[in-house]
Amino acid sequence: MLPTSMPSFREQVMNIIRWLFKARGAAAAVFRLIDEGNDASINEADVRKDDTESIHNINGDIEFDNVNFIYPSRKEAPVLRNLSLIARAGQTTALVGSSGCGKSTCISLFLRYYEPSSGRITIDGRPITDYNVKQLRENIGVILFDMSIYENIRFGKVNATREEIEQAAREANAHHFIMQLPNKYETLVGERGIQLSGGEKQRIALARALVKQPTFLLLDEATSALDNVSEKIVQEALDRACNGRTTIVIAHRLTTIQNAHQIYVLDKGSVIEQGTHETLMAKEGGKYQAIVKRQQMEGIYDNEDDIMSMQKATEEDEQSIRILIFL
């Protein structure tokens, strides 16, 4: 049998080019599907509308009215089912439920990363689609960049004055520890600078959000994984920050839930219990009562600080709860 001839150099190059174009086309299709399923700029066209309402001059009531939602990539598994709740401005509303019950989905819908399959979400009685998307989203900032502390805070408001930045740091309980650093506000953080503790990072992130003077404050795991001393400092700053604002906090610890004006217990995307901490604890056989009692029995209740940690329960029990708080 005669050996097959080897392709010429030109043919090899052309084959590689054809392969690259095929790969590029396949990759484009994959990324297009990903983007269709999770598009962070899904409604950016609304930002340019002249009739969008400013987010800064509103009262802040949030209502989910019979909201249903199915992720585009998992159409066979509804996430929210006729979910209705009201988070009143100036009050604390907590959503409680096991992992996968729809808490994070509520945030995604509120930020309009997705749209409800049916039902509607309103702010002060107006559909959320009437409001400026960019203003609605710009309140979240939880990471530290490799730059000075001053620049990290200023990232929240590019044209902020020195006075505004320092005032935001004071409100976040960060000014005191910043002034003790080698270069104070000019101290570099991150890989090129000093390493901050978890509590210090949270306070810088909070200061960055506060310098905007936002109507809505969204905080992810604000006091999770902090020691009791750090948590007290951060929580004190959060208590001040949430005054007059609608705040959403996702956390393992239940530091503030006992003071919530209203608690909604979610299960499989629906509200199954509703009330205050006291009324829900008084409901014999209720899910909220059972979960809280179990955590107390497992010794995760800290009597000294009146803090309940949910971390161990999350790792050990699929019925454990996590908290989404509207302040």
DSSP string, 37-90: HS-TTTTHHHHT-TTPBPSSSS---EEEEEEEE--TT-TTS-SEEEEEEEE-TT
Tens-place pLDDT, residues 229-274: 666 776 777 777 767 777 666 545 565 577 677 788 888 889 899 9
What's the pLDDT at 258? Answer: 72
Report the Cα 160 to chain-centroid distance in Å.
24
Tens-place pLDDT, residues 58-85: 777 889 999 999 988 788 889 999 999 9
Tens-place pLDDT, residues 34-50: 343 444 444 444 444 54
> Rounded distance, CA 22 to CA 26, Å?
6
Q: Which domains does the chain have, with CATH numbers?
A: 44-91+102-137 (3.40.50.300), 140-213 (3.40.50.300)
Inter-axis angle of helices 228-241 and 198-210, to 10 degrees? 10
Specify whether the CB–CB gap between 94 and 262 falls below 8 A.
yes
Q: Which residues pair with 265 in a beta bridge?
A: 96, 273
Tens-place pLDDT, residues 148-164: 888 888 877 778 899 99
pTM (2 d.p.): 0.53
Q: Which residues contact 7 (CB under 8 A, 6 or more apart)?
A: 15
Inter-axis angle of helices 228-241 and 162-171, to 10 degrees? 120
- 21 band by pLDDT with thresholds 50, 70 and 90: low
